[in-house]
Structure 1
Amino acid sequence: MVRHKTAEIVEYEAQTIKEKVIADMTGLGTYKPEYDAVITIYSDLLAQYHDANKKFEESNYQYETMTAAGGTKKSAIVATLENLRKDILAYSDRLCLNPKSVETVTTESGKKKSALAEALSSLGG
């Protein structure tokens, strides 16, 4: 008998993921409370992905299903996983949670002073 997660468990996992995402973003210097709505969506997507991946595992990694015409097509769970991966990647880019996107971000703590700003600072002090 295959047991699937209840909505409450997926919601709990999404909240746990959200707390980790906020901690990661805080560590990177990219977190702002204004991003919480986007972080919630991202966390929900990750929880759904984990749930779908578990179902795919329970199906013995069934990649294809039979069509009514006797052919085969990609199983619904594989299509779901592919779509979730694309969405997760897009949100991780927006939240600067992958190596490629974090390289392009200047955080408050990581801002460098221009040569002119440094020269003016040295004169004032």
Structure 2
Amino acid sequence: MAGKNIPQKDTIKRRTIGYMKELNTYKKQYNQLIEVYADLLHQYYILTKEFEESGYEVVMETEKSGGKKSPILATLENLRKDIGTYSDRLMLNAKANKDSEISIKASDNDPFNKLFDGLKSG
């Protein structure tokens, strides 16, 4: 991110909708989720830049901290998890798309349908 501009939330939202349209997964009902996803990515970009500018300080070096993770690093890790969850919900990653294709291809009469459902949930 160093030296790069951080995309605005509206730019992230437009890109996300564009990607979803390319993947044939976009529905206007997802706009609220897309808004949250764009906000998460925007926060992630901002904090990543701050983390880089801090010299990648991973551990707080104060007496009181006891060697705990820096707050920026802890927040980045949480944001990564949340971004992954939202990208799954919006079917923006390969795994989510593969699971979606399996669900679409499997018919109710297919004896393996229950097997796939069991594998996905377990």
Scaled by the length of structure 1, the TM-score of the pair is 0.73
Which of 81, 95, 98 does residue 100 from structure 1 map onto? 95
Asked whether the equivalents of residues 42 and 92 of structure 1 are also in contact (C-alpha less than 8 Å), the reply is yes
Q: Which amino acid aligns with 1:29?
A: N
**Could you tell me which of 34, 37, 40 is aligned with 1:39?**
34
Name the SS of the counterpart of 2:68 in structure 1: strand
- What SS does the aligned partner of 2:92 have? coil
- Residue 63 of structure 1 contacts residue 74 of structure 1 at CA under 8 Å; is this kept in 2? yes
Does the CA-based 8 Å contact 1:65-1:72 persist in structure 2?
yes
1:80 to 75, 80, 100: 75
Q: Which consecutive unaligned segments of at least 5 residues does structure 1 have?
A: 1-8, 115-125
TM-score normalized by structure 2? 0.75
Following TM superposition, by how much is the alpha carbon of 1:67 offset from its aligned partner in structure 2, in angstroms?
3.9
Match for 2:60: what amino acid? T
Match of 1:27 among 22, 28, 37: 22
Gaps of 5+ in 2: 108-122
Partner of 1:90: 85
- How big is each residue's C-alpha offset from its partner over 1:42-95, in whole Å with a ceiling of 9 and x where there is no partner? 011001000000000000000011344473110000001000000000000000
Partner residue in 1 for 2:115? none
Larger radius of gyration: 1
* More strand per residue: 1
Counterpart for residue 3 of structure 1: none
Structure 1 Cα separation of the partners of residues 96 and 46 of structure 2: 26
Counterpart CA distance in 2 for 1:44 and 1:100 is 22
Question: 1 CA distance for matches of 2:89 and 2:69?
Answer: 29
What is the RMSD of the two structures over their aligned residues, measured on CA atoms? Answer: 2.0
Q: Give secondary structure in 1 for the equivalent of 2:100.
A: coil
Q: Quote the Cα distance in structure 1 between the aligned partners of 2:37 and 2:55.
A: 27
Q: Is the 8 A contact 1:67 1:73 kept in 2?
A: no
Q: Secondary structure at the match of 2:99?
A: coil
Partner residue in 2 for 1:60: 55
Q: How many residues align?
A: 100
